[in-house]
C-alpha cells in the first residue's frame, strides 16, 4: 500500500484526525467516529476523510474494517476461542514469563527483517504513547508498538504466540492492574526504553534489540510484581494467581 503524502484538504483532515486521536476522547477500543460523521464534523466530503484515513492507515496509526469501523492503533490478531480458554488457566506472572521468552526474539528478528518505512512507524507509535493523556491511550499505543514489532519479525508462529499473550492481557482487569503500576517516572523510563529498542532495531542490531526488549520487559515485570504484591496484600489472592495445572 503506497499512499501519496496528503496535500490540501486531505492534509488538514489528517491533522485534525491526529488531534482527535491524541485527544484521549476515544473509547477503550480506540474507536473513531464513522467516516460519515467525520465528514460532517470537518465539513468536507467523505472522500477527503477516506483519503486522510488511507494515509493514517498506511502509517499504522489506524486500522479499518468494513461493517465494524475505524480504530486508532493496531488490531489484535484473531485468536478464535483459544485465548479465552487459556486465560482462565494462567496468571499474570506466567504471561510475563512467556513474554520474556518470546518478545526479545521478536525484536531481534524485527531488527533483521525491518523494512525501510517501518522504523518511522515504530517511532510514531512510541511518540503517540509518550504523548498519551490517559491510561487507555497509553495501553492502546503501547500495545500497538509491540504488535507492530511482532509483525515486522515476519515469523507467523511467533506472531501467533505473541498474539495469544496479547489477547490474554487485553482482559480489562489485567489492563487495570497495569494502569495502576504507571506514573510519570515509569512512563519516562518506558519511553526511554522504547527509544533505545527502536534505535537498536533501526540499526539492524539483532542482539542489541533482543537485549533492549528484555530490559524493557524486565522493568515492566518488576512494576507488575509490585502491583500484584500490593493487590495480594489488600485482598488475598485473586484470579491473578490461578494455579497452572499441567
Partner DNA sequence: ATTCTGTACCAATACAGGATTGGTTTGCCT
Partner DNA sequence: AGGCAAACCAATCCTGTATTGGTACAGAAT
List residues near DNA by CB under 7 A.
Answer: 32, 34-37, 45-48, 50, 53, 64-70
Phi, psi for 24 (deg, rounded to 5): 80, 10
Burial class (CB in 10 A: 0-12, 13-18, 19+), 23: exposed
Place of cell 485473586: 238
Q: Is 90 in the site for a copy of itself (CB under 8 A)?
A: yes
Rounded Cα distance between 19 and 38, Å, is 13
Nearer to DNA, 26 or 200 (CB): 26
Residue 203: CB minimum distance to a copy of itself, A:
21
Rounded Cα distance between 30 and 158, Å, is 25
Kindly tell me which residue out of 161, 201, 212, 217 binds a copy of itself, with binding defined by CB under 8 A: 161
Partner interacting with residue 80 (select from DNA, a copy of itself, none; CB below 5-8 Å by kind) = a copy of itself
Which residue, 100, 245, 72, 121, is CA-closest to 165?
100
Compute how many other C-beta atoms are within 10 angstroms of the C-beta atom of residue 216.
Answer: 21
Residue 86: CB minimum distance to a copy of itself, A:
5
Element containing residue 70 per DSSP (H, E) = strand 69-72
Partner interacting with residue 154 (select from DNA, a copy of itself, none; CB below 5-8 Å by kind) = a copy of itself
Partner interacting with residue 109 (select from a copy of itself, DNA, none; CB below 5-8 Å by kind) = a copy of itself
Q: Which residues contact a copy of itself by CB under 8 A?
A: 78-82, 85-86, 89-90, 94-95, 97-98, 101-102, 105, 109, 151-161, 164-165, 168, 244, 246
Amino acid at each position: 500500500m503506497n499512499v501519496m503524502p496528503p496535500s490540501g484538504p486531505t492534509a488538514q483532515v489528517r491533522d485534525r484526525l491526529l488531534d482527535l486521536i491524541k485527544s484521549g476522547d476515544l473509547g477503550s477500543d480506540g474507536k473513531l467516529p464513522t467516516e460519515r460523521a467525520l465528514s460532517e464534523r470537518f465539513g468536507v466530503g467523505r472522500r477527503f476523510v477516506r483519503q486522510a484515513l488511507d494515509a493514517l492507515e498506511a502509517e499504522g496509526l489506524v486500522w479499518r474494517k468494513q461493517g465494524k469501523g475505524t480504530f486508532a492503533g493496531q488490531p489484535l490478531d484473531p485468536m478464535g476461542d483459544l485465548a479465552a480458554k487459556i486465560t482462565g488457566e494462567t496468571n499474570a506472572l506466567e504471561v510475563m514469563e512467556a513474554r520474556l521468552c518470546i518478545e526479545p526474539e521478536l525484536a531481534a528478528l524485527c531488527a533483521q527483517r525491518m523494512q525501510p518505512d517501518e522504523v518511522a512507524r515504530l517511532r510514531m507509535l512510541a511518540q503517540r504513547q509518550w504523548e498519551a493523556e490517559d491510561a487507555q491511550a497509553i495501553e492502546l499505543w503501547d500495545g500497538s508498538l509491540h504488535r507492530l514489532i511482532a509483525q515486522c519479525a515476519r515469523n507467523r508462529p511467533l506472531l501467533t504466540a505473541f498474539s495469544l499473550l496479547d489477547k490474554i492481557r487485553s482482559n480489562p482487569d489485567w489492563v487495570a492492574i497495569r494502569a495502576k503500576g504507571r506514573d510519570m517516572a515509569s512512563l519516562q523510563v518506558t519511553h526511554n526504553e522504547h527509544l533505545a529498542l527502536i534505535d537498536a532495531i533501526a540499526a539492524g542490531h539483532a542482539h542489541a534489540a533482543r537485549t533492549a526488549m528484555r530490559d524493557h520487559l524486565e522493568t515492566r515485570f518488576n512494576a507488575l510484581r509490585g502491583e500484584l504484591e500490593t493487590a495480594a496484600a489488600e485482598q488475598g489472592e485473586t484470579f491473578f494467581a490461578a494455579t497452572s495445572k499441567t
